[in-house]
Amino acid sequence: MTRADAAAWLLGRDRYLILTHRRPDGDTVGSAAALCRALRALGKSAHVLKNPEVTEKYLPLLSGLTVDAPQAGQTVISVDVASKNMLPDRFAALLPAIELRLDHHAGESFTPLELVDPEMGACGELIWDLLNLWGLKMDRKIAEALYTAVSTDTGCFRYANTTAHTFTVAAACAQAGGDLFSINQAIFETTSLAKLRLSGYAAEHIRRSQGGKIAVFPLPKAVETALEATEDDLENVSGLPRSLPGVALAATLRENPGGSVKVSLRAAPGYDAAAICRNFGGGGHRGAAGATLKMSLEAATQAMEQAMAEAL
Ligand SMILES: [Mn+2]
């Protein structure tokens, strides 16, 4: 679909139920909140399906917008959900009901209709384009939701996915009266003791190879527990190995409860994180991608080190 197609399609329907992804980040939550408020401003009924994994930092964005359970006859759409595996388990039964996916991940198609633009640094940028097509003016709450979406997915406008369009959206959020300073303080400046301890652990356990071009950070579940790290504390843990000088490919590996290992891979410009992750059934963007490996943490770490070395 083009943006105009999606805008018209959304205008022609009602009773929206918006789905966010597993381990929800600022982009999926901010995009869902902004789209929900925009649809309501258009006179539609719209809700975001409650995702219990949303952390305290992003929960206020969804205030007054969520419902606990789906209802019959709703128009179900997803935002920032790259693949059906990214749907929370409790949303799985809704998969056949999702009519439209709004996203910026190239990933696999899993809905009859989709508006996907991998050129966008954040899904929130796509939502802003829809608002413009509808001629909607952002209010402060929409502006703060969209700013949260675009700032988090671009690492506060530092990652390679940041474009002029990203800044245009951010400027519009400022113009609409969003309290951007408070968002920046809460998301990018404030840290926690657990986060600082995590950095300390990372400094001692990141493994470097290929002359420092590759860095991997295996993080055992037992360590997360011992450091009392919450999902908020761990949100940007994949940035730690990448922060070392000279690193071209950086992977952070976390143990899932079921015994599998979740890999977050980051690549410097000129390298393709998604291509490496596809070897393991995953995917994503050139700069940032992920995969789930059904093996021990140590075996997954070695498998990633080998795949990354081959990709250099
Ligand atoms: Mn995103």
306 and 278 share a domain?
A: yes
266 & 183 share domain: no
Tens of pLDDT, residue by residue over 266-291, are: 999 999 999 999 999 999 889 999 99
**What is residue 106's predicted lDDT score, i.e. its pLDDT?**
83
Ligand 1 centre to CA of 210 (Å) is 30
CA atoms 150, 227, 191, 217: torsion sign = negative
What pLDDT digit, counting tens, does each position of 182-229 carry? 999 999 998 889 999 999 999 999 999 999 999 999 999 999 999 999
Distance 235 CA to ligand 1 centre (A): 13
**In the listed set 188, 220, 250, which residue is the last one of a domain according to the structure?**
188
Residues 6+ apart with CB under 8 A from 241: 202, 206, 215, 216, 217, 247, 250, 251, 252, 266
| Rounded CA separation 154/268 (Å) | 14
pLDDT digits (tens, 9 = 90+) for 30-54: 999 999 999 999 999 999 999 999 9
CA of 27 to the centre of ligand 1 (A): 5
Q: Which of 168, 188, 208 is the last residue of a domain?
A: 188
Residue 107, pLDDT above cutoff 80: no
Question: What percent of the chain is modeled with pLDDT above 90?
Answer: 91
Which residue spans within the chain are E strands per DSSP? Answer: 16-19, 46-49, 66-67, 75-79, 98-103, 113-116, 207-209, 214-219, 249-255, 261-267, 283-284, 288-293
Å from CA of 218 to ligand 1 middle: 24
Instruction: Provide CB contacts within 8 A for 47, sequence distance 6+.
Output: 16, 17, 18, 36, 65, 66, 67
Domain encompassing residue 216: 193-311
* 270 CA distance to ligand 1 middle (Å): 21
CA of 28 to the centre of ligand 1 (A): 6
In angstroms, what is the span from residue 224 Cα to ligand 1's centroid?
A: 24
Q: What is the pLDDT of residue 231?
A: 82
108 pLDDT more than 90:
no
SS (H, E, C) 21-48: CCCCCHHHHHHHHHHHHHHHHCCCCEEE
165 and 17 within one domain: yes
pLDDT value at position 123? 98
Phi, psi of 249 (to 5 degrees): -130, 130
160 pLDDT band (50/70/90 cuts)?
A: confident
Distance, CA of 207 to CA of 284 (rounded, Å): 23
Domain-terminating residue out of 157, 188, 219: 188
Q: Which CATH number goes with the domain that contains 229?
A: 3.10.310.30
CATH of the domain at 27: 3.90.1640.10
C-alpha to C-alpha distance for 64 and 11, rounded to whole angstroms? 22
Q: With contact defined as beta carbons under 8 Å apart, do 47 and 30 qualify?
A: no
CB-CB contact of 239 with 283 (8 Å):
no
Q: Based on the domain organization, do 79 and 31 belong to the same domain? A: yes
Distance of CA 23 from the midpoint of ligand 1 (Å): 12
* pLDDT, tens digit, 9 for 90 and up, residues 218-257: 999 999 999 999 887 888 898 899 999 999 999 999 999 8
